[in-house]
Copies of this chain bind each other. A is one copy, B any other.
Amino acid sequence: MGDKGISRRGLIAAGAFGVAGGAALGVGGTALALDAERPDSGPEVGTATVPFYGEHQAGVETPPPAHGLFFALDLKKGTDADRFARIMRLLTDDAARLTQGRAPLADTEPELAELPSNLTVTFGFGPSLFAKLGREDAMPENFAGLPAYESIDRLEDRWSGGDLLVQVCADDLMAVAHAQRMLLKDSRSFLGVRWVQRGFRNSAGVVEPEKTQRNVMGQLDGSANPRPGSEEFRETVWAGGSGPFAGGTTLALRRIRVDLETWDKLDVGSKEVHVGRRLADGAPLTGGKESDDPDLEAKENGLEVISPNAHVRRSTAPDGRKIYRRAYNYDDGPTSEGTSETGLLFASYQADLEQFTVIQERLAESDLLNNYTTPVGSAVFAIPPGCEEGGWAGETLF
């Protein structure tokens, strides 16, 4: 499963659901025969791996698996740049092993490392890390932090900021829990936990890999995303040039609470006006299919078909630059009142953080969804490029 050229979801789909079409039946037959020759082989999801080493860190262009754990660590007093570099070497080595189904050196439950289930571990550095280590000079452009979006933000410290981000994604929560534990064990003498956020999306085998998934609001989430593997994705997400972040990206992680109790009071037509897309299939209200661009100029009886404040209009940057959302949901609920404490972990990746702020500013100014959503956490991280075997995440910097 370690071949970058083959979609893991595709493999699962082909294996689990048979092969559609007569021509492909022969291939299906071959696969069956192969399986018959290795009756001891385990289920495909558990043993599936995503390559760790490479030009880019895994976990960004990688198809998002079911579970996403984000945790932010802060340097403890006395942890300097040298020490930090040594920790990053260790954590990189741990991650390289864990993602390939091998136990880290200090693992005392190595059996729990055997089923990585598409595990990825991705590291990112917050503006506060550069400041603490006296390396503001190394920060990417436009990265000092997000402006305050006072009209919408109700940020809480417990979901915001952080020196080091560790993003752990996998199709299995046992793999996530074990990786989390190993990475914390190897870092906790020098780094303290600032926050932990857990997200989920549909499990492997629930929705066809190529289909957009629904979020907790019931909306198809990420319809306008650049397609991983495409030229548009590369231009949108990966930093160019020759600096220390070439091949890296930036992450804006916003925790957005959804007030489902009020959202629920809208009928389907009203929801569609708010979003600017059809609820059933995600197609723009101006017609076509999900992947078609909305026609923002279209009018009917002199009125814009897509409302001036519809989410799809407000989230379209005037210069056409995009972001890449790797959407997760969270559910901390219910409260003792029986209402939902739920929302989105809005993880947006872009080569230049400005791609995000341009859109976010437009949304803060006006977006019909603002009546139902509240950003309660916010953090940005510079994601350094990947490394080769023996290297480590951040080696271009520290």
Contacts and interface: CB of A to CB of B under 8 A. Distances in A.
Nearest to A9: B43
Interface stretch (A129-137, A230-238, A335-343): A335-343
Interface string A3-32: 000000000110111111110110011011
A370 B21 CA distance: 57
Interface residues of A, number: 80
A352 to B, nearest CB: 32
B205 A45 contact: yes
Contacts of A13: 43
A45 to B, nearest CB: 3
B45 A206 contact: yes
Given A21-B36, A172-B203, A338 B214 contact: no
B42 A207 contact: yes
A302 interface: no
A174 B329 contact: yes
A50 to B, nearest CB: 15
Given A172-B203, A205-B12, A264-B108, A180 B339 contact: no
Contacts of A338: 184-185, 187-188, 191-193
A256 to B, nearest CB: 16
A15 B31 CA distance: 11
A329 B177 contact: yes
Contacts of A71: 334
Interface string A154-198: 000000000000000001111001001100110110011100100
Given A32-B19, A218-B109, A174 B193 contact: no
B331 A177 contact: yes
A46 interface: yes
A66 interface: yes
A13 B212 CA distance: 25
A396 interface: no
A274 to B, nearest CB: 14
Contact of A279 (B111, B171, B214, B334): B111
Contacts of A245: none
- Scoring A29, A71, A213, A214 by chain B CB atoms within 10 A of each residue's CB, the highest score goes to A214
A117 interface: yes
Interface string A328-355: 0101011111111010000000000000
B19 A35 contact: yes
A334 B193 contact: yes
24 contacts: A15-B17, A19-B36, A20-B36, A21-B36, A25-B32, A25-B36, A29-B29, A32-B32, A66-B172, A66-B173, A66-B203, A71-B334, A111-B214, A111-B279, A111-B280, A112-B214, A112-B216, A173-B200, A181-B260, A184-B338, A188-B338, A188-B339, A192-B338, A193-B334
Given A16-B44, A188-B338, 16 more contacts: A16-B16, A18-B31, A19-B32, A19-B35, A21-B39, A25-B36, A29-B32, A45-B206, A46-B205, A71-B334, A117-B203, A171-B206, A174-B206, A174-B214, A188-B337, A192-B338
